[in-house]
């Protein structure tokens, strides 16, 4: 019984020594209480900072989303205005093209009329040259006729004078 008791005691002592060794190893791995409290305080502070940063980040994300929504609305408004302006400019361009096409047609008509008028003027010039030649011939003929008429008047006047001299002498 004594041997059994000694063996049990020896086994208990061995187990106790093993447990003591394990407890010492755990204690070596443990942090002192003051340092643990400091670490806990630091952890809480860091968690508060992390919470604040997370809240701040969330707030900034909301602000960024709002700003992006405003920016997108502004871009859409500007795009709509640009589209409307482009449509207006396109309408103005079409109107201007129509006016220009009408003006081109008018100018073509005017050019055709001008060409016809040019031909008419050329014909009139040709006719006028003919009239000028005919007028010159008529003037020449008139001059010639006037000269003959003058000669005839001079002859008639000389005949009258002669008759005027002959008639009183024959009457006497």
Q: Where do the domains of the chain lie? A: 41-163
Upper half-sphere CA count for residue 164 (Cβ side, 13 Å): 6
Cα–Cα distance between 71 and 77 in angstroms, integer?
10
Residue 120 pLDDT: 96
Residue 35's pLDDT band, with cuts at 50, 70 and 90, is: confident
- At residue 168, does pLDDT exceed 80? no
Least confident range from 4-13, 70-79, 89-98: namely 4-13
Q: What is the pLDDT at residue 81?
A: 96
Check residue 31 and give its pLDDT. Answer: 62
Separation of CA 48 from chain center: 56
Integer Cα distance of 52 and 59 in angstroms: 10
The pLDDT, as a whole number, for residue 91 is 96
| 108-127 tens-digit pLDDT | 999 999 999 999 999 999 99
Reported as a single tens digit per residue, the pLDDT across 45-90 is 999 999 998 888 889 889 989 999 999 999 999 999 999 999 999 9
What separation in angstroms does the CA of 77 have from each of 63, 72, 82, 86, 100?
A: 21, 8, 8, 14, 34
For residue 22, pLDDT beyond 80: yes
Mean pLDDT of the chain: 91
Distance between CA 54 and CA 46 in Å, rounded?
12
d(CA 120, CA 127): 10
Q: Is the pLDDT at 96 greater than 90, yes or no?
A: yes
**DSSP label at 172?**
-
State the virtual CA torsion across 108, 113, 119, 121 in degrees, nearest 10.
-130
């Amino acid at each position: 019984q004594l041997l059994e008791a000694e063996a049990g005691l020896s086994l208990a002592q061995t187990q106790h020594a093993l447990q003591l060794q394990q407890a010492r190893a755990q204690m070596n791995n443990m942090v002192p209480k003051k340092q643990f409290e400091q670490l806990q305080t630091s952890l809480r502070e860091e968690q508060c900072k992390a919470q604040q940063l997370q809240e701040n980040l969330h707030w900034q994300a909301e602000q960024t989303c709002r700003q992006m929504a405003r920016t997108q609305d502004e871009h859409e408004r500007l795009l709509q205005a640009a589209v409307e302006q482009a449509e207006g400019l396109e309408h103005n361009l079409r109107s201007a093209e129509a006016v220009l096409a009408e003006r081109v047609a008018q100018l073509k008509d005017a050019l055709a009329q001008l060409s016809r008028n040019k031909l008419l003027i050329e014909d009139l010039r040709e006719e006028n040259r003919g009239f000028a030649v005919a007028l010159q011939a008529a003037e020449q003929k008139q001059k010639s006729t006037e000269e003959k008429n003058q000669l005839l008047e001079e002859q008639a006047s000389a005949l009258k004078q002669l008759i005027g001299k002959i008639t009183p002498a024959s009457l006497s």
